[in-house]
């Protein structure tokens, strides 16, 4: 432990964000990284606890606490305090294939479990991780490392999201020949088209993919396995197949008027913006635009927040965000103690921007849509909303949200974005490969395994566990790679 009193000597200092007026002018990332000197002080705040919950990744209460990748957080915090940046990078890479992604988009489960956060401000673990990986690219530590020996085994990874990329990276390091198939025109899956540039600029993805290509991973884009190429052909050409296609079925809203023009799934809205931005800097007019419109976002999660932030950058006239559940408390309650994940209200970047631009929080709680109203041309013109109240189901004991009679009211709306989550894997893929699915339409496996009911086919990521975080997808990709490697070689050192 480099500085035993560091957590008392230095206050938490995170990478400062640009002002709302600055950042909504473009789609770029909007934080200014700390200097190496300031980052070292933040590393010194780590207490190197006897029990470092930050890296535990274990179930505490009803949610996971700490990093699912079991990152060696106290070690690399101490190393950056001592100025040993290359060693810090090496320790980080032992557990995390893509710190350039997680340091930008992860909700930092590690920080929520930090011992410093029990009675004060947590260590800036996420910012420290960002400092380590970005310094590694500057100094050349993150340069390609080409495997010296090849095993002659061939593996197909279907899907290039974080789980597929992690599996490919691990198996390529082992010396297997890996080909990644992606149905979109660019590699990255939800990293590329599901997460806006403001959180993850796409040159960051391209930078890592270029390194993986140099290391020997082959990428084939614009190929939809199960449609453009038969599953049987993939199984014939490769020794093992990993399905990592994500949970791609968006949850819909079933109310009168749903067929009105102007209602879209959030994922389609976000993808159209990112694709147009990358193709021609939004000059082609083919993206779903919120400019001058009254926008309503249905869903209070990260994707809903991304829709709010993107709509503001388009130039929306107004933004309303619906949340079915009651507002969470602003601080931890007694039944939600540290190191449990804090069930508290979070105001994210999109909501911060809406408050600044429109003068109020866009979120409306305990509210849902009862009807969409169309004009004579079938275009959306308004929505009928209804207030909800929580009631316990007498049979199951579960909390259910019930309509409050007579609480209906109308709002003008031109554009609706449905960000209500995802239901599971897409059936054309699972049917093409003949794999079993469970009640949630995730691909079924035995507990603790990634092997499907079909020989030589494995599964990982959201397609396996359901919609989740990028950090969990990376963990799944690493774990499936280990199981695949062992099935091929009879043992594994991954």
Chunk the chain into consecutive blocks of 10 residues (it has 494) and report each block's average pLDDT, rounded to whole numbers.
86 96 97 95 92 92 91 96 97 98 96 92 96 98 97 98 98 98 97 97 98 98 97 98 94 96 98 97 94 97 96 98 96 92 95 98 98 97 97 85 96 97 92 95 96 98 95 98 98 96
Overall residue count recorded for the chain in this entry: 494
Choose among 117, 32, 135, 33: nearest CA to 80: 135
Choose among 235, 142, 168, 198: nearest CA to 30: 198
What b/e readout covers 399-437, taking b as 16+ CB neighbours within 10 angstroms?
eebeeeeeeeeeeebbbbbbbbbbbbbbeebbebbebeb
The gap from C-alpha 119 to its chain's centroid, in whole angstroms, comes to: 29
Please give the Cα distance from 448 to 438 (Å, whole number): 15
pLDDT at residue 411, as a whole number: 98
Please give the Cα distance from 196 to 350 (Å, whole number): 11
Choose among 448, 412, 121: nearest CA to 294: 412
Please give the Cα distance from 30 to 104 (Å, whole number): 11
Distances (CA, A) of 487 to 180, 421, 456, 477, 492: 19, 34, 9, 15, 9
Going by the DSSP 8-state scheme, the letter that residue 258 receives in this structure is: T
Give the dihedral of Cα atoms 203, 208, 213, 214; nearest 10 deg: 110
Please give the Cα distance from 64 to 339 (Å, whole number): 10
Going by the DSSP 8-state scheme, the letter that residue 437 receives in this structure is: B
pLDDT at residue 1, as a whole number: 63
Please name each of the domains of the chain with its CATH number: 6-139 (1.10.1060.10), 154-248+423-489 (3.50.50.60), 263-418 (3.50.50.60)
Choose among 415, 493, 398, 487: nearest CA to 449: 487
Residue 184, SS3 per DSSP: coil
Choose among 83, 64, 73: nearest CA to 125: 73
CB 144 within 8 A of CB 216: no
CB 372 within 8 A of CB 415: no
pTM metric for this prediction: 0.96
Strand intervals (E) in 132-271: 154-158, 177-181, 218-220, 240-243, 263-265
Choose among 308, 396, 326: nearest CA to 368: 326
Residue 370, SS3 per DSSP: strand
Please give the Cα distance from 197 to 26 (Å, whole number): 9
* 390 bridge partner residues: 401
Please give the Cα distance from 319 to 6 (Å, whole number): 43
Please give the Cα distance from 460 to 430 (Å, whole number): 13
The pLDDT tens digits for 345-390 are: 999 999 999 999 999 999 999 999 999 999 999 999 999 999 999 9
Going by the DSSP 8-state scheme, the letter that residue 467 receives in this structure is: S
């Amino acid at each position: 432990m480099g500085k035993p009193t560091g957590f008392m000597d230095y206050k938490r200092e995170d990478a400062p964000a640009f002002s709302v007026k600055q950042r909504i002018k473009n789609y770029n990332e909007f934080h200014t990284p700390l200097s190496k000197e300031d980052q070292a002080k933040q590393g010194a705040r780590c207490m190197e606890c006897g029990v470092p919950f930050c890296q535990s990744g274990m179930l505490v209460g009803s949610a996971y606490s700490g990093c699912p990748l079991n990152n060696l957080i106290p070690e690399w915090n101490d190393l950056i305090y001592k100025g040993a940046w290359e060693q810090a990078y090496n320790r980080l890479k032992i557990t995390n294939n893509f710190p350039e992604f997680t340091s930008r988009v992860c909700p930092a489960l590690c920080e929520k479990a930090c011992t410093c956060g029990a009675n004060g401000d947590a260590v800036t673990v996420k910012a420290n991780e960002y400092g380590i990986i970005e310094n590694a690219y500057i100094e050349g530590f993150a340069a390609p490392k080409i495997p010296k020996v090849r095993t002659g085994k061939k593996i197909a990874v279907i899907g290039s999201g974080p789980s597929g990329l992690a599996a490919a990276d691990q198996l390529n390091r082992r010396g297997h020949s890996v080909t990644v198939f992606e149905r979109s025109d660019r590699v990255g899956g939800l990293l590329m088209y599901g997460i806006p540039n403001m959180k993850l600029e796409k040159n960051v993805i391209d930078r890592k993919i270029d390194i993986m290509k140099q290391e020997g991973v082959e990428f084939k884009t614009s190929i939809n396995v199960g449609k453009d190429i038969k599953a049987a052909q993939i199984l014939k050409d490769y020794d093992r197949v990993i399905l990592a296609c994500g949970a791609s079925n968006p949850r819909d809203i079933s109310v009168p008027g749903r067929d009105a023009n102007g209602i879209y799934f959030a994922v389609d809205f976000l993808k159209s913006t990112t694709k147009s931005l990358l193709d021609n800097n939004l000059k082609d007019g083919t993206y779903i635009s919120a400019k001058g419109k009254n926008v309503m976002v249905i869903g209070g999660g990260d994707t809903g927040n991304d829709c709010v932030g993107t709509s503001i950058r388009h130039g929306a006239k107004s933004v309303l965000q619906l949340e079915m559940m009651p507002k969470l408390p602003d601080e931890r309650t007694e039944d939600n103690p540290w190191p449990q994940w804090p069930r508290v209200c979070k105001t994210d970047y999109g909501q911060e921007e809406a408050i600044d631009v429109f003068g109020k929080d866009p979120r409306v709680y305990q509210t849902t849509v009862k009807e969409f109203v169309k004009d004579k041309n079938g275009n959306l013109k308004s929505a009928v909303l209804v207030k909800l109240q929580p009631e316990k189901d007498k049979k199951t004991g579960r909390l259910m949200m019930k309509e409050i009679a007579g609480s209906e009211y109308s709002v003008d709306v031109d554009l609706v974005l449905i960000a209500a989550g995802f239901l599971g894997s897409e059936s054309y893929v699972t049917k093409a490969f003949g794999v079993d699915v469970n009640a949630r339409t995730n691909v079924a496996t035995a507990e603790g395994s990634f092997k499907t009911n079909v020989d030589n086919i494995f599964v990982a990521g959201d397609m396996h566990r359901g919609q989740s975080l990028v950090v969990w997808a990376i963990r799944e990709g690493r774990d499936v790679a280990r199981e695949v490697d062992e099935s091929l070689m009879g043992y594994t050192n991954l």
